[in-house]
């Protein structure tokens, strides 16, 4: 079971070749309009696609920046079209029936990560720079993990996979990735969509742990009754792996390189719960065996 990370190539205006998701969350900001307190608009400029809310009355001609230092406008989120490309997993792009996107990969790509999905299936087609199809994939997200007899076949709840990682794409530069996230008759959702290049960090071993940090608020009143306010959460993971001695310094250098850069961690393809888009807080390499060293990595997901 290989322990991989996916170095992402972030989607920007120039690489979003097409999408079926409209960018019409709110009216577009207009510099000639005098906005009132709490007026909400979308602001689009270059690679900035955000939803903003006015912090002041008589808000005329103040250009939203999306920065926390902006005293006139507060950024609420990316627009619905761009939520699947932000550095968050719990925020989701949604669209009736399906989400279709066409992405341009500039550098060599061999992986796709689709996280926090709400859909029935995913279809992927990869075209090389000559528009020749070099890879296709169709994935049914409905899982039978909870079906083990006739009773559960008929009466167990339908469970769908929330995360999908494709690590078997032939490595090509200047690709076009056509991705269709399908949920006919309902609302398709996607939290994270990334193209990237996988990097092998070793072989994961028994003892790897996954968990989460819940930011929901659970408060009890004087009578012991709880009021629960649901908020986001972050997945966490403690990865244990073996690293061959000749690759030990390479692995340490890779982890040092991405110490402050969000990447997709895949402890093992066997469990989708081990797919986390985030960062590692720390790592340790123990020089313990003649031919292998032991690696442990503490991973925190982006909420």
- 121-132 pLDDT, tens digit per residue, is 999 999 999 999
- Domain termination residue (choose one: 198, 226, 251): 198
| pLDDT tens-place string over residues 40-58 | 999 999 999 999 999 999 9
Q: Give which of 162, 125, 131, 130 is closest to 145, Cα–Cα.
A: 162
Task: Indicate whether 280 pLDDT > 90.
Answer: yes
Q: Give residue 122's domain range.
A: 8-19+84-198
239 and 251 part of one domain:
yes
Q: Does 24 map to a domain?
A: no
pLDDT of residue 233: 86
12 and 131 part of one domain:
yes
pLDDT of residue 247: 94
Q: Give which of 273, 285, 289, 272 is closest to 240, Cα–Cα.
A: 285
Q: Does 26 map to a domain?
A: no
Q: How far is CA 114 from the centre of its chain?
A: 6
pLDDT of residue 1: 81
189 and 213 part of one domain:
no
Whole-angstrom CA distances from 30 to 43, 64, 218 are: 9, 11, 41
Q: Does 2 map to a domain?
A: no
pLDDT of residue 66: 94
297 and 168 part of one domain:
no
60 and 88 part of one domain:
no
119 and 159 part of one domain:
yes
Average pLDDT over residues 181-193: 97
pTM: 0.92
123 and 14 part of one domain:
yes
When divided into structural domains, the chain yields a total of: 3
pLDDT of residue 148: 85
138 and 259 part of one domain:
no
CATH code for position 164: 2.60.120.260
Q: Does 1 map to a domain?
A: no
Q: Does 28 map to a domain?
A: no
pLDDT of residue 122: 98
| pLDDT tens-place string over residues 130-161 | 999 999 999 999 988 888 888 888 888 888 99
Average pLDDT over residues 234-252: 95
Q: Does 176 map to a domain?
A: yes
Q: Does 157 map to a domain?
A: yes
- Domain termination residue (choose one: 78, 93, 109): 78
281 and 207 part of one domain:
yes
190 and 205 part of one domain:
no
Measured CA angle at 68 (ends 66, 71), to 5 deg = 90
Using the CB atoms, write b or e for 44-55: b if 16+ within 10 Å. Answer: eeeeebbbbbbe
Q: Does 183 map to a domain?
A: yes
C-alpha dihedral, 15 to 19 to 24 to 25, nearest 10°: -80
pLDDT of residue 232: 83
pLDDT band at 105 (very low <50, low <70, confident <90, very high): very high
Average pLDDT over residues 236-256: 96
- Domain termination residue (choose one: 198, 218, 239): 198
pLDDT of residue 165: 97
97 and 192 part of one domain:
yes
175 and 239 part of one domain:
no
Whole-angstrom CA distances from 164 to 23, 96, 160, 217, 258 are: 25, 20, 11, 29, 22
pLDDT of residue 106: 87
């Amino acid at each position: 079971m290989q322990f991989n990370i996916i170095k992402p190539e972030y989607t920007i205006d120039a690489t979003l070749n097409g999408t079926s998701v409209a960018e019409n969350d709110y009216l577009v900001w207009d510099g000639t309009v005098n906005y009132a307190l709490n007026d909400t608009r979308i602001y689009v400029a270059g690679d900035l696609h955000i939803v903003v809310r006015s912090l002041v009355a008589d808000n005329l001609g103040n250009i939203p920046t999306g920065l926390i230092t902006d005293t006139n406008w507060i950024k609420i989120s990316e627009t619905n079209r761009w939520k699947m490309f932000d550095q968050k997993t719990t925020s989701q792009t949604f669209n009736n029936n399906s989400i279709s996107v066409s992405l341009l990969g500039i550098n060599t790509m061999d992986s796709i990560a689709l996280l926090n999905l709400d859909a029935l299936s995913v279809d992927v087609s990869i075209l090389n720079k000559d528009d020749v199809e070099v890879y296709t994939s169709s994935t049914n997200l409905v899982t039978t993990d909870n079906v083990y007899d006739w009773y559960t076949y008929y009466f167990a709840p339908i469970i769908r996979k929330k995360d999908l990682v494709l690590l078997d794409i032939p490595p090509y530069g200047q690709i076009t990735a056509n991705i269709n996230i399908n949920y006919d008759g309902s609302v398709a959702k996607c939290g994270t969509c990334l193209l990237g290049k996988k990097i092998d960090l070793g072989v994961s071993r028994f003892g790897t742990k996954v968990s989460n940090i819940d930011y929901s608020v659970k408060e009890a009143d004087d009578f012991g009754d709880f009021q629960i306010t649901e908020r986001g959460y972050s997945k966490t993971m403690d990865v244990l792996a073996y690293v061959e001695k000749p690759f030990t310094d390479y692995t340490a250098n890779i982890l040092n390189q991405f110490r402050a850069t969000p990447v997709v961690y895949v402890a093992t393809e066997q469990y989708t719960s081990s797919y986390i888009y985030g960062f590692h807080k720390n790592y340790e390499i123990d020089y313990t065996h003649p031919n292998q060293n032991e690696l442990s990595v503490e991973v925190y997901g982006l909420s």
